Structure 1
């Protein structure tokens, strides 16, 4: 299973690069109905790409969830940043705030003159409030899943002592992983839904570039250490 998912991941990751290129080529700001449709279409394609990833991952994890915690297709840096075999959902909100701040500062003169940029640096008070609300909700859900994993880990002695059914324990771990992945995808969708199409493009580019950067640095680091 490891090699098949690794092959899928590498192909999926390559396709993500192509989709980000499409995001980068969209007209910003959109000035015609066709431009708006183009933005919506490419955002939909990227979100569908993430849905595909989690669908394939879910099916593979049902067979062997432990493989996803080991994640041999990831660099050591990526694995060190993992929360339950993937990125921490609340990372999304840190990314929104940091990108919004960077873009706001770069357009501060235009904004003070009353010009709307329409990008992530131009989030409305309502959007900021909704992002904050979603962050609080996500933190609670994230903590609840963390507690579930802690309970699973605390019961490891039952396996050592032969007091637990191994298959049942592995199935429970697969369920915890599924809940974590569901929260990751749900968080991504919620944030994209509260943004305008142009802002969603900015956000998805930033999210992918963060992933590209971490993976690239991690792979290079492993090569220097002789791990790859």
Structure 2
């Protein structure tokens, strides 16, 4: 187990504590004091998320291939990754899904003019902001994908110039960092478009999705088909 393995385990544990704090946060209607409390919790969560990316960037500099192999996560999680992490555009699918579910559950109240204040109560300007951000993110995501594709095509050059390997690996690290920067920037900008209450709900949903996928991956790893003969005989 390397240092990043240990860091990731502790980071995940702290993430669960933060999600518990978000889940216990005040619900609408909220007072100005509650609004301040929610803003503090969201900032605390985002600082934790940023810490992960700062530490990961150092690991990329040390061994980018290890970061892409990601031995600290499950095989299922690795199968869903895009350049060392989730696709930034996954954030928008989550926002739209949660908004639709909550809107349907509160439809009568919302149509009567009652403001629920949750993700099902996004304003037209918020929807417009999310849509515009999604378009920008798709463009950036596609550009990074193309950059990785060009890097992969260029690897054939190593057959005749193996001395360029270190330089090529360095370029790969830069691509991974660019993907991580887009991931962090996308989450930050989505949170900025939401009210503190909506941001709390969004961050809880995103974390629960992450925990769920990890849980499924761990369970798959324990299935009989994935056990060694010695493990099956125990």
Normalized against structure 1, the TM-score is what?
Answer: 0.97
The aligned residue for residue 226 of structure 1 is 227
The aligned residue for residue 84 of structure 2 is 85
Aligned pairs for 1:1-228 within 5 A: 3-224=2-223, 225-226=226-227
Equivalent position SS for 2:150: helix
Moved more, 72-81 or 162-171: 162-171
Give runs of ≥4 in structure 1 deviating > 2 Å: 160-164
CA distance in 1, matches of 2:158, 2:54: 30
CA distance in 1, matches of 2:30, 2:16: 26
Deviations along 1:47-90, one digit per CA (max 9) or x if unpaired, are 00000000000011111111111111111110000000100000
Stretches of structure 1 lacking an aligned partner (at least 5 in a row): none
Give the deviation of 1:163 after TM superposition.
4.9
CA distance in 2, matches of 1:226, 1:35: 49
Give the deviation of 1:14 after TM superposition.
0.7
Aligned residues: 227
CA distance in 2, matches of 1:204, 1:164: 45
Q: CA RMSD in A?
A: 1.3
Give the deviation of 1:30 after TM superposition.
4.6
CA distance in 2, matches of 1:83, 1:222: 21
CA distance in 1, matches of 2:22, 2:125: 25
Give the deviation of 1:31 after TM superposition.
2.2
Stretches of structure 2 lacking an aligned partner (at least 5 in a row): none
Label 1:153 to 1:164 Cα distance change in 2 as closer, same or farther (>3 A): farther
Give the deviation of 1:129 after TM superposition.
0.6
Give the deviation of 1:226 after TM superposition.
2.5
Partners of 1:158 and 1:164 within 8 A in 2: no
CA distance in 2, matches of 1:14, 1:159: 42
